[in-house]
Amino acid sequence: MNATYRAVEVSKPGEFSEVRKPLRDPGPNQVRIRIEACGVCHSDSATVEGLFPINWPRVPGHEAVGRIDALGPGVQGWAVAQRVGVGFLGGSCGYCEFCRNGDLVNCRNQEFTGVHSDGGYAEVMIAKSTGLVSIPDDLSSADAAPLLCAGLTTFNALRNAPAKAGDLVAVLGIGGLGHLAVQYARHMGFEVAAIARGNKAAELAKKLGAHHYIDSAATDPAAALQALGGARVIVVTASGGKTIAETFKGLRPGGVSIDLGVGPEPIEVTSMDLIFGERKVAGSLTGTPATGDATLRFSALSGVSAMIETVPLEQAAAAYAKMMAGKARFRIVLVMKNANN
């Protein structure tokens, strides 16, 4: 391996540059990964636009897949040449109160990949071993990449939701997250209703496994869900408090609306609708690395896959702009040279 590697970093908000960075050895409990593919995710904007406090320059990317090429001191359970993935959560500490209670997602010392440390828009990255996900042999690196964030987020939310086989589950929004959520919901054995504005996504939603399609521009989506008996769970992949509020009454008593789309808009639901029917609004943050393993295995076993477009690493800036313009159908994946995709 060369003593340097190529990376696309952000030097200040909105400014990408292709650079060569010196190769360094992984520190204690870290591994070094030769990256083969990295998905471009909407949350990369938190880095690129500087929404989090960032120590510039920073390499974005939190859907990285590659092979371990060096182990730092103290790493156990992982091996050189093993194919691994790194998602948004950079790895739990193991000693904080939340870790000690088994709640790894809410670890107090969790770093975010591509925010606090350099991410996957590069040929090489250093990652904490506690954040690694293992990649099944029958998924290509490019196919696996989007499953580490978009896949894990939707799979985890559905897997922990209080729905049983046969229950009505609604997926709001058919985009990067929604097109995966519909597939997972179908393969988990739910009755699936997809909700989006307009009729453009209707055919695709059915192809992905939705039993019902609700055009929220033409009908009241809450009433449409109630006509189907009311949803046990609504997975909201579109951001915006209004979208959540307008479907909330479509929940059956005891149902929950799980918000996955980050946005500044408040969610306005009445206490009446919460109390009479004991409905809930909840948030869900990606998932643990073990759930990441399960996401990838389940995807390989059931044939769930993200619709992707691959582009070379050098086109990261253009890929990011296309994703931000809402023109990706549905996930863009950067692929590195010599990668086995």
Query: Residue 282 forms beta bridges with which residues?
Result: 258
With contact defined as beta carbons under 8 Å apart, do 35 and 335 qualify? no
Min dist. Cβ of residue 121 to Zn ion (A) = 13
- Residue 145 interacts with Zn ion (CB under 5 A): yes or no: no
Name the residue nearer to Zn ion (CB basis): 82 or 106.
106
Q: Which amino acid is present at 17?
A: S
Which range of residues in 53-61, 75-83, 101-109, 240-248 is near Zn ion by CB under 5 A? 101-109
Min dist. Cβ of residue 146 to Zn ion (A) = 9
Distance, CA of 319 to CA of 281 (rounded, Å): 33
Task: Provide the 10 A C-beta neighbour count for residue 300.
Answer: 18
Name the residue nearer to Zn ion (CB basis): 66 or 176.
176
- Residue 107 interacts with Zn ion (CB under 5 A): yes or no: yes
Per-residue interface string for the shown chain with Zn ion, residues 224-263, x marking contact by CB under 5 A: ----------------------------------------
Distance, CA of 23 to CA of 27 (rounded, Å): 12
- State whether residue 175 is helix, strand or coil: coil
**Identified binder of Zn ion from the candidate list 19, 93, 294, 324, rule CB under 5 A:** 93
Which range of residues in 93-101, 162-170, 177-185, 253-261 is near Zn ion by CB under 5 A? 93-101
Distance, CA of 22 to CA of 87 (rounded, Å): 23
**Identified binder of Zn ion from the candidate list 149, 177, 193, 231, rule CB under 5 A:** 149
Which range of residues in 97-105, 163-171, 229-237, 319-327 is near Zn ion by CB under 5 A? 97-105
- Residue 43 interacts with Zn ion (CB under 5 A): yes or no: yes
Name the residue nearer to Zn ion (CB basis): 92 or 129.
92
Which range of residues in 88-96, 158-166, 177-185, 230-238 is near Zn ion by CB under 5 A? 88-96
- Residue 41 interacts with Zn ion (CB under 5 A): yes or no: yes
Min dist. Cβ of residue 158 to Zn ion (A) = 17
Which range of residues in 27-35, 70-78, 106-114, 233-241 is near Zn ion by CB under 5 A? 106-114
Name the residue nearer to Zn ion (CB basis): 23 or 93.
93
Distance, CA of 81 to CA of 72 (rounded, Å): 14
Residues 6 or more apart in contact with residue 227 via CB below 8 angstroms: none
DSSP, residue by residue, 66-93: EEEEEE-TT--S--TT-EEEE-SB----
- State whether residue 58 is helix, strand or coil: strand
- State whether residue 123 is helix, strand or coil: coil
Name the residue nearer to Zn ion (CB basis): 212 or 322.
322
Q: Which is nearest to 180 in space by CA: 91, 28, 302? A: 302
**Identified binder of Zn ion from the candidate list 19, 23, 96, 269, rule CB under 5 A:** 96
- Residue 323 interacts with Zn ion (CB under 5 A): yes or no: no
With contact defined as beta carbons under 8 Å apart, do 43 and 62 qualify? yes
Name the residue nearer to Zn ion (CB basis): 251 or 328.
328
With contact defined as beta carbons under 8 Å apart, do 169 and 189 qualify? no
Q: What length is written for the chain?
A: 341
Contacts with Zn ion by CB under 5 A lie at 41, 43, 92-93, 96, 99, 107, 109, 149
